[in-house]
């Protein structure tokens, strides 16, 4: 922390990333926001999987953290690689946003099933690709990157019939657009979707003490449990893997699905345990999916 005790928050400069950083700043009060340009923001004409995966949204920010030019970094957790630098801790102080995906289409279709024949959907997510192709092999999928408004314009300008976005982003930016929430049988979300994660240096005891008093326990257990599934399978944004969880009366249920890239084959697993066992439960589910053939499926 700087001499005047102002905490420096590092973030990407996209509207959603800034919204997240300002929400964290509201809780931490005496803080300033430092915008950091990442490789993922600079290269927007290629799918993430083709240029190196999720770390493209975090590596420049990680560098600033390691060099102590910022005190904490705020991320959409689904953009954070499952294995983070060993010098870092992960913390969760904000409640989770809605984890679901939504369909936004020219004709306001209620779901993927009801889109017109031979529609086009814009997405660069292997997880969404597999789930769309599983139920609608006729749909053509076009790679699409960029912030939410860039993607919405693709529908508005009739470049694609529809797009799929995270509901949390739509809600957080208060975007006024008709959408349909997709149920999990059609499109299960990515692990940690809607969760905001904070990374900081383990050795920074002052930051650790500040954040530990603000932990959102429910969000933390969901994050740890869902990421544990990915960790065991070694999943990332190249992988058509969906993971979600829910907590009711101190019990957490974690559900996961793994697809072949074309969506034609799928395995799934769902288990429940007490909330404090979330991370172990995620590991059990990941191990169970491997026994069911997850690693072979992901190679197809």
Catalytic residues, by residue number, are: 79
Token pair belonging to 243: 């993971």
Return phi, psi of residue 62, to 5°.
-55, -40
Residue 109, burial from CB neighbour count under 10 angstroms (0-12, 13-18, 19+): middle
d(CA 58, CA 60): 6
Give the contacts of 176 (CB within 8 A, at least 6 positions apart): none
Q: First vs last Cα of the chain: how many Å apart?
A: 48
Query: How far, CA to CA in Å, does 246 sit from each of 98, 104, 222?
Result: 11, 25, 7
Burial of 182: CB neighbours in 10 Å, binned 0-12, 13-18, 19+ = buried
User: Helix axis angle, 15-28 relative to 148-156, nearest 10°?
Assistant: 140
For residue 214, give every residue at least 6 positions away whose Cβ sits within 8 Å of its Cβ, in sequence order, or none.
27, 93
Q: Pairing relation of β-strands 72-76 and 196-201?
A: antiparallel
Radius of gyration of the chain (CA): 19
Q: Which residues contact 32 (CB under 8 A, 6 or more apart)?
A: 6, 7, 8, 9, 25
């Amino acid at each position: 922390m700087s001499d005047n005790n102002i905490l420096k928050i590092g973030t990407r400069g996209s509207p959603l990333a800034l919204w997240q950083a300002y929400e964290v700043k509201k809780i931490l009060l005496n803080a300033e926001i430092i915008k950091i340009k990442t490789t993922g923001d600079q290269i927007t004409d290629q799918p993430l999987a083709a240029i190196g995966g999720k770390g493209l949204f975090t590596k420049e920010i990680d560098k600033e953290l390691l060099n102590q030019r910022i005190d904490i970094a705020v991320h959409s957790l689904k953009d954070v690689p499952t294995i983070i630098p060993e010098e870092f801790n992960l913390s969760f102080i904000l409640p989770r946003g809605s984890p679901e995906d939504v369909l936004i289409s020219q004709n306001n279709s209620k779901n993927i099933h009801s889109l017109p024949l031979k529609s086009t959907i814009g997405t660069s997510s292997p997880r969404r690709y597999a789930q769309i192709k599983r139920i609608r092999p006729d749909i053509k999928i076009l790679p699409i990157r960029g912030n939410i408004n860039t993607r919405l314009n693709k529908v508005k300008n009739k470049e694609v019939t529809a797009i799929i976005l995270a509901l949390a982003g739509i809600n957080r930016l208060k975007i006024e657009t008709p959408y349909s929430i997709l149920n999990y049988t059609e499109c299960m979300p990515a692990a940690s979707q809607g969760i905001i994660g904070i990374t900081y240096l383990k050795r920074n005891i002052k930051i650790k003490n500040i954040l530990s008093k603000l932990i959102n326990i429910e969000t933390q257990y969901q994050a740890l449990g869902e990421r544990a599934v990915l960790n065991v399978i070694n999943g990332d944004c190249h992988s058509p893997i969906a993971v979600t969880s829910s907590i009711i009366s101190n019990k957490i249920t974690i559900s996961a699905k793994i697809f072949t890239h074309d969506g034609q084959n799928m395995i799934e697993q769902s288990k429940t345990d007490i909330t404090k066992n979330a991370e172990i439960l995620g590991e059990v589910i990941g191990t169970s999916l491997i026994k069911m053939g997850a690693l072979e499926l992901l190679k197809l």
